[in-house]
């Protein structure tokens, strides 16, 4: 997945939680919580939404890495790329 597509998925997931989001004014290096009114339940919903959209699991210990747009891209880009390259194996 290209970085532009990944960023769009992240912003769409965030908009589902915070529809008032103005993506153009979002600073990629600042925490979402500093820029958008998110409480801990909203943030958890955002992470779960990302997992659903991208088809991957984010361990709870890594949630803080998803606290900003830049952090999301840095954390998710290699995982989405590796998911594209090697589809998950299903075992019976």
Residue length of the chain = 92
Q: Give how far Cα 54 sits from Cα of 37, 47, 73, 82, 92, Å.
A: 24, 11, 12, 12, 23
> Is domain 3-85 in CATH 1.10.1200.10, yes or no?
yes
Tokens of 60: 């709870």
Q: What is the mean pLDDT of residues 65-72?
A: 96
List, in sequence order, every beta strand (DSSP E) within the chain: none
Q: What is the pLDDT of residues 3-52, one digit of tens each?
A: 889 999 999 999 999 998 888 899 999 999 889 988 999 999 999 999 99
Domain boundaries, the chain: 3-85
């Amino acid at each position: 997945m290209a970085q532009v597509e990944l960023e769009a998925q992240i912003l769409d997931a965030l908009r589902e939680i915070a529809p008032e989001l103005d993506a153009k004014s979002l600073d990629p290096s600042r925490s979402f919580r500093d820029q958008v009114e998110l409480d801990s339940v909203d943030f958890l919903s955002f992470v779960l939404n990302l997992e659903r959209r991208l088809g991957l699991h984010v361990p709870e210990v890594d949630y803080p890495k998803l606290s900003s747009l830049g952090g999301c891209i840095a954390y998710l880009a290699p995982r989405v790329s590796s998911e594209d390259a090697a589809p998950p194996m299903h075992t019976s």
